[in-house]
Structure 1
Amino acid sequence: MFGRLMPETASVQAVLTDRIFLGLTIASALILALVVGLILVFAIRFRRGSRVDRHPLPDIVSREFEIGWTAATIFLFVFVFWWAASAQIGAYSAPPNAIEIHVVAKQWMWKAQASNGAREINELHVPVNAPVKLIMTSQDVIHSFFVPAFRLKRDVLPDQQTEAWFQATKTGTFHLLCTEYCGTDHARMLGRVIVMEPEAYARWLSAQPEGDDLAHQGERLFSERGCAGCHAPGSRVHAPSLAGIWERPVPLEGDRFATADAGYIRDSILQPGRDVVAGYAPVMPSYAGLLDDGEIQAITAYIRALGSEPGVVRELGTPEVRSNVPGDVRARSPAMVPGAPVLDVPAPPEPGSRP
């Protein structure tokens, strides 16, 4: 009977969420039954006109009862908080081997792109029993990514990146909804998540139109939009190198530090004067309005693909453990190779002009 009242359970997170929901429901029902039962007993036992001995209890009994009841309530609250919070916090930490998919929400559709370049609109193909990490942002207003069968719900915000992950446990097609009112056609902002067997997913992936993956798209944008003209080691402009900074601490002005993650890269592109790297002048122009969310995601993927080992330049698609020996990498970004010629790339266009 309980299963009929709940949506289909199709992910690892759904099992944990249902377990918490069921536990809280049972605990609430027991507490409600206890309170209602005591009210009925007292209302009947001590009703007006009854001949009940109303001698008060000794003070010590009353005090011990109150202390015990308060301690039990606090223990129950702390346990429930720990139980629910531990499951929810785990939803923010994707496994390191998770498949990465970038999602851009806009009125009124979901645009998804896998790291290998496969693109979809209002559909998301994933393999079963494999963790999937979603990196999401919005091009206009606040949306909310919701898959009932996965018990997955995460707000998608403009000018910010939010992350979530799931692991589907059964194949099939599941509803994807927007649960944040986002305008006239909010109710039509629908999609579906298609969970496939690994072999079927591999065939589907290979059948998609060929194109550059996100990292190579970002590499191209890095040069086309003028980034390489400043961040190349031999550039005439004194700007920090981006090789090997991913998820490493970056020293900032004012004796502060920031972690070079997706949020930091995005803020540095759109608000370069906000967190200036120590020892560098705040001369970088803002790219707000010049780069859309998909392009920012691509540049971020490129910087991430360069690795997190300082001074090491990696070929895109190679493991990060590869050493940086001059001449052993055939396809590098000129902006990241020490001593490479500086690209004569024009400065970013003025806001309002076409790039």
Structure 2
Amino acid sequence: MNASFHLFPHSATTASGRYDALFITQTVVLAAVAFAVALLIVVFSIRYRAGSAADRSNAPTTARGVEIAWTVIPLLLFIGTFAWAAYDFTQLYRAPSDSMPVFVVAKQWMWKLEHTNGKREIDELHVPVNQPVRLVMTSQDVIHSFYVPAFRIKQDVVPGRYTTIWFTATETGEFHLHCAEYCGTDHAAMGGRIIVMQPGDFAAWLASGNTRPGIAAHGFELYRRYGCSGCHEAQSSVHAPDLHGLLGREVHLSDGRALIADEAYIRDSILLPRKDIVAGYEPIMPSFAGQISEDDILAIIEYIRSTGGNYARAGQ
């Protein structure tokens, strides 16, 4: 069997080439600076060693040009790579408006994933090729980390909050999924795979064998079951904020702050309703902490997304 050496894992997303180029550039810059310093140390140690014939008369007391060069050039190189890395990092959390949302709940020791039509997966994620996919993730117990080497994505999944990341797969096939954060006894066994399919094959797979309602429809059912509709609808007798088109909307708070409503804001409003009180409203909403699961919260969020707004498709 022929063995081949690869400097990097297989690259299978639109952004992975940029990350590899950044890594190579940083490595080359650091190696070049380290080599130059080491070389000068060796040369000077030999040339000016005790007892050498080196001319030590009229030794310069200043070398301002050299001092400026060895300070400014590495500084500019490091600032350049930092700016490059900072730009790519921000792009990880700016998903395209046509991204396909997938909801992920991590628990010891599995990945639970759900598509917008209600189809669920365990330790597998099917996605279409050349389609941006945005993951909205939370943990049911401890910190996990969603890591796909071929996609060059790694995002901590934290209990009590939502984290997001997105990718666009560029080729079909199966790619390894790992948990990259030690999460307990069976951490090493917590893995899975990403299955990238042609759009037609993915559409057929998504529609097959699914008897569950769409996640937005399920969210609307939960919205009524938990009594949200009794306060947040226009015809309700209780004075509460309108949730239609909420995602992506600017919300002004009673303490003078303003924020953009995202998934984390809705989750906090359900579990910690006194954290961010909307201006003009009384803090009368009860907390649902301990009464509602993460899966149900995600479904309610998807229902609210379906009502429209700036983030009606995927959020950013």
Partner of 1:133: 134
Partner of 1:287: 288
Partner of 1:48: 50
> Aligned letter for 1:120?
E
Please give the alpha-carbon distance, in whole angstroms, between the structure 2 residues aligned to 1:138 and 1:153: 15
Normalising by the residue count of structure 2, what TM-score does the alignment of the two structures yield?
0.93
Please give the alpha-carbon distance, in whole angstroms, between the structure 2 residues aligned to 1:67 and 1:2: 45
- RMSD (CA atoms): 1.9
Structure 1 stretch displaced more, 155-164 or 18-27 = 18-27
Please give the alpha-carbon distance, in whole angstroms, between the structure 2 residues aligned to 1:78 and 1:171: 37
Deviation at 1:13, TM superposition (A): 2.3
Partner of 2:238: 237
Please give the alpha-carbon distance, in whole angstroms, between the structure 2 residues aligned to 1:45 and 1:254: 69
Give the number of equivalent residue pairs.
310
Distance 1:293-1:51 versus aligned 2 partners, 3 A rule: same
Partner of 1:4: 6
Deviation at 1:3, TM superposition (A): 5.7
**What pairs with 1:188-207 in structure 2 (closer than 5 Å)?**
188-207=189-208
Flag the structure with more relative contact order, 1 or 2, with Cα contacts below 8 A and sequence separation at least 6. 2
Partner of 1:153: 154
Q: 2:20 matched to 1:13?
A: no
Contact 1:13 1:152 in 2 (8 A): no
Q: Secondary structure at the match of 1:4?
A: coil
Partner of 1:23: 25
Higher Cα Rg: structure 1 or 2?
1
Contact 2:29 2:77 in 1 (8 A): no
Deviation at 1:73, TM superposition (A): 2.1
**What pairs with 1:139-178 in structure 2 (closer than 5 Å)?**
139-178=140-179
Q: Secondary structure at the match of 2:195?
A: strand
Contact 1:125 1:196 in 2 (8 A): yes
Please give the alpha-carbon distance, in whole angstroms, between the structure 2 residues aligned to 1:109 and 1:92: 24
Q: Secondary structure at the match of 1:126?
A: strand
Contact 2:252 2:258 in 1 (8 A): yes
Partner of 2:229: 228
Deviation at 1:245, TM superposition (A): 2.5
Structure 1 stretch displaced more, 13-22 or 300-309 = 300-309
Q: Secondary structure at the match of 2:175?
A: strand
Q: 2:259 matched to 1:258?
A: yes
Q: Secondary structure at the match of 1:263?
A: helix
Structure 1 stretch displaced more, 261-270 or 33-42 = 33-42
Deviations 1:237-261 (A, max 9, x none): 2212212332111121122222221
Deviation at 1:59, TM superposition (A): 4.2
Partner of 1:37: 39
Please give the alpha-carbon distance, in whole angstroms, between the structure 2 residues aligned to 1:176 and 1:189: 9
Deviation at 1:200, TM superposition (A): 1.6
Partner of 2:100: 99
> Aligned letter for 1:205?
L
Please give the alpha-carbon distance, in whole angstroms, between the structure 2 residues aligned to 1:106 and 1:219: 25
Contact 1:172 1:195 in 2 (8 A): yes
Unaligned runs of 5+ in 2: none
Q: Secondary structure at the match of 1:301?
A: helix
> Aligned letter for 1:119?
R
Q: Which runs of 4+ in 1 moved over 4 A?
A: none
Partner of 1:349: none
Deviation at 1:6, TM superposition (A): 1.9
Contact 1:144 1:153 in 2 (8 A): yes
> Aligned letter for 1:63?
R
Partner of 1:321: none
Unaligned runs of 5+ in 1: 310-315, 318-355
Deviation at 1:211, TM superposition (A): 2.2
Deviation at 1:2, TM superposition (A): 10
Q: Secondary structure at the match of 1:5?
A: coil
Please give the alpha-carbon distance, in whole angstroms, between the structure 2 residues aligned to 1:12 and 1:2: 24
Partner of 1:304: 305
Contact 2:136 2:162 in 1 (8 A): yes
